[in-house]
């Protein structure tokens, strides 16, 4: 039998800590508005538990349903910061949007109320020192360097989604992870995020693809 560097009980306590963090993070996300599935949150949590990130950046936060689970891991790790970039503005949300139903939804929904709801929850969850919200478009947001995990889930138009990968992926650390949501977003005969996905495929190493309420993927920065 191989000598274990640590007693089994130590591994058990690490696993039970991870389980506890995950249960807490899922309980938090269930109180938030957004489109992140529990399966996706679970994978984001596992990734953050595994790589112990210092810097997480999310483009497109909405009610925090994908940002908060990752931030819960940072809090448990007692290190790292999760930046959430979102303009929370009807004008930005409908820019270049083609489909009338999408235009109508994003043109009317109360972005400010969703942002305020998230801010309250961040305090409720004790994440105020872990999450920094930046109310700005991806384009106008200040550069954030040495990103360990980048989650792109902002405006899904061809122009903006392509811009998002071009601006933010170069700021990810070598070996860092890029998560791109809605890889097959389809509006009036156009796969609007296809150009961004193609760029990711050409410039990063695709690691995984998932299908839940959307098709989304994970790439590694080369
Ligand atoms: C699909 S929602 C994000 C959902 C969230 N990540 C989740 O999993 O629940 C898209 C978000 O992108 C934001 N957004 C729109 N235009 C943007 C831009 N130019 N830069 C960054 N975010 C943008 C919207 O305000 C909206 O909150």
Quick: pLDDT tens for 156-203.
Answer: 999 999 999 999 999 999 999 999 999 999 998 999 999 999 999 999
Tell me the two tokens of residue 74: 């940072």
Question: Helix 38-51 crosses helix 8-29 at what angle (to 10 degrees)?
Answer: 140
Quick: pLDDT tens for 104-127.
Answer: 999 999 999 999 999 999 999 999
Which atom of ligand 1 is nearest the CA belonging to 32? 9
| Pocket flag, ligand 1, residue 57 (CB < 6 Å) | no
34-41 mean pLDDT? 97
| Pocket flag, ligand 1, residue 155 (CB < 6 Å) | yes
pLDDT of residue 1: 45
Non-local CB neighbours of 27 within 8 Å, separated by 6+ positions: none
| Pocket flag, ligand 1, residue 162 (CB < 6 Å) | no
Non-local CB neighbours of 33 within 8 Å, separated by 6+ positions: 62, 63, 64, 65, 114, 117, 118
Q: Answer with the residue of higher pLDDT: 1 or 100.
A: 100
| Pocket flag, ligand 1, residue 156 (CB < 6 Å) | no
Instruction: Give, rounded to a whole angstrom, the gap between the first and last alpha carbons of the chain.
Output: 38
Which atom of ligand 1 is nearest the CA belonging to 62? 27
52-62 mean pLDDT? 98
Ligand 1 centroid–CA 13 distance in Å is: 37
Burial of 110 (0-12, 13-18, 19+ CB in 10 A): exposed
pLDDT over 70 for what percent of the chain? 94
User: Distance of alpha carbon 180 from its chain centroid, rounded?
Assistant: 8
| Pocket flag, ligand 1, residue 60 (CB < 6 Å) | yes
Report which protein residue has its CA nearest ligand 1's atom 5. 61
User: Distance of alpha carbon 116 from its chain centroid, rounded?
Assistant: 19
In this prediction the pTM is 0.95
Helix residue ranges, H only, the chain: 8-29, 38-51, 67-77, 90-94, 100-108, 111-124, 158-168, 194-203
Report which protein residue has its CA nearest ligand 1's atom 27. 62
Strands 55-59 and 81-85: parallel
Tell me the two tokens of residue 130: 């872990």
- For a substitution probing ligand 1, which of 62, 110, 179, 187 has the most ligand atoms within 8 Å of its CB? 62
- Indicate the pLDDT class of residue 17, thresholds 50, 70 and 90: confident
| Pocket flag, ligand 1, residue 127 (CB < 6 Å) | no
| Pocket flag, ligand 1, residue 85 (CB < 6 Å) | yes
Domains, the chain, with CATH or none: 8-221 (3.40.50.150)
Non-local CB neighbours of 75 within 8 Å, separated by 6+ positions: 126, 127, 130
Cα–Cα dist 105/109, whole Å: 6
DSSP state of 52: -
Quick: pLDDT tens for 145-162.
Answer: 999 999 999 999 999 999
Q: Answer with the residue of higher pLDDT: 58 or 10.
A: 58
Q: Answer with the residue of higher pLDDT: 109 or 18.
A: 109
Which atom of ligand 1 is nearest the CA belonging to 35? 9
């Amino acid at each position: 039998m191989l000598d274990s560097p640590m007693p089994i009980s130590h591994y058990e306590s690490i696993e039970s800590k991870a389980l506890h963090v995950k249960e807490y993070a899922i309980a938090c996300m269930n109180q938030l508005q957004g489109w992140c599935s529990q399966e996706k949150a679970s994978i984001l949590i596992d990734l953050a538990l595994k790589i112990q990130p210092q810097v997480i950046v999310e483009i497109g936060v909405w009610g925090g349903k994908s940002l908060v689970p990752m931030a819960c891991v940072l809090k448990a790790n007692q290190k790292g910061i999760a930046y959430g970039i979102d303009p929370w503005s009807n004008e930005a949300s409908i820019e270049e949007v083609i489909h009338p139903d999408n235009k109508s939804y994003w043109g009317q929904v109360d972005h400010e109320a969703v942002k305020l709801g998230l801010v309250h929850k961040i305090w409720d969850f004790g994440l105020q020192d872990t999450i920094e919200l930046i109310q700005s478009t991806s384009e106008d947001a200040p550069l954030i360097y040495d990103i360990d995990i980048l989650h792109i889930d902002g405006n899904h138009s061809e122009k903006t989604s392509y811009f998002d990968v071009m601006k933010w992926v170069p700021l990810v650390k070598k070996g860092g992870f890029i998560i791109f949501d809605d890889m097959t977003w389809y509006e009036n005969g156009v796969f609007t995020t296809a150009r961004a996905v193609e760029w990711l495929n050409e410039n990063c190493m695709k690691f995984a693809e998932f299908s839940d309420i959307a098709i989304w993927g994970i790439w590694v920065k080369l």
